[in-house]
Amino acid sequence: MAIKVIKNPPMAERLYREIGESIKQEIAKSTMKVGDKLPTERVYAELFGVSRTLVREAFIMLEIEELIEVRKGSGSYLKNSPSSLLTIAHVSDVGPFELLQARQEIESSIAACAAPVITKQDLQKLQDILDIESAELEVVENANSADRDFHLSIAQATQNTVLVDTATRLWDMKDGNPMWKKLHARIQDTSYHDQWLEDHRKVLVQLRKRNAEGARQAMWQHIENVKQTLFKLSDTEAPDFDGYLFAQPHG
């Protein structure tokens, strides 16, 4: 037999992860502030009915995630609020419309922020991405990737780490949502791709002119167009999106 069959079937999640997640929730439920001391490893061990080794591994996980800081002989201390990580799970099932609304606000600001300080290299990079988008009309596989690159490259042009982080976070939110995949599948079939390509061009033109308000408007209009597309699609896909798409009266 030449074919090596699939071994290693999906494994149950490692215990230390479950414990780590439980500890996160405990912290989130409590009134603990950043800098406060956590219960000791031994306390958690008894609480969860496992050995200290496992709790220690869970602590290492939280330490890698920069949620806590561990000090020998002293204890472990809350370094960052777990809310920043905890809410992300909850946020993974926000509606596409709600997410687009937020992106419209924030990304247009980011575009305006980038315009005055964007470098020649950044502009070239955006042009390159645009070329790729123009070329691969059929190769839709990477269309989403290029789209992401375009938006995030603008964020990077602001040279502000926080804005890059925020934009990345917003963009990745849709990955957790199966609804987006359906949308993308639909959209690929249509001519909306051309519309968005033109939108991207307009944004780039404003960035080249170092026109902050122009860039803001262009980005705003771009995402507005995406919203409109979404709106139209929701007509034909009504059963799927019903009660899900329009959670927000906003806009």
Partner DNA sequence: AATTGTGATTTGGTATGCCAATTTTGCTGT
Partner DNA sequence: ACAGCAAAATTGGCATACCAAATCACAATT
CA distance 162 to 102: 16
**Contact between 11 and DNA per CB under 7 A:** yes
CA distance 61 to 149: 30
Scan residues 166-195 and list those touching a copy of itself (CB under 8 A): 166, 168-170, 172-173, 175-176
Report which secondary-structure segment, H or E, holds 72: none
Least distance from C-beta 239 to DNA, angstroms? 26
What token pair was written down for 235? 């007509």
**Contact between 65 and a copy of itself per CB under 8 A:** yes
* Residue of 59, 177, 46, 202 whose CA lies nearest to 126: 202
Stretch that binds DNA, among 47-55, 87-95, 175-183, 220-228 (CB under 7 A): 47-55
Task: Assess contact for 147 and 196: CB atoms under 8 A.
Answer: yes
Scan residues 15-44 and list those touching DNA (CB under 7 A): 15-16, 38, 40-42
**Contact between 8 and DNA per CB under 7 A:** yes
SS3 of residue 12 by DSSP: coil
CA distance 45 to 172: 35
Please report how many Cα atoms fall inside a 13 Å half-sphere around the Cα of residue 169, on the Cβ side.
14
Scan residues 91-150 and list those touching DNA (CB under 7 A): none
Scan residues 89-128 and list those touching a copy of itself (CB under 8 A): 89-92, 94, 98-99, 101-103, 105-106, 108-110, 112-113, 117
In angstroms, the first-to-last Cα distance of the chain is 61
Q: Using CB under 8 A, list all residues that contact a copy of itself.
A: 7-8, 11, 14, 16, 34, 53, 56-57, 60-61, 63-66, 70-72, 74, 77, 79-81, 83-84, 87-92, 94, 98-99, 101-103, 105-106, 108-110, 112-113, 117, 158-166, 168-170, 172-173, 175-176, 248-250
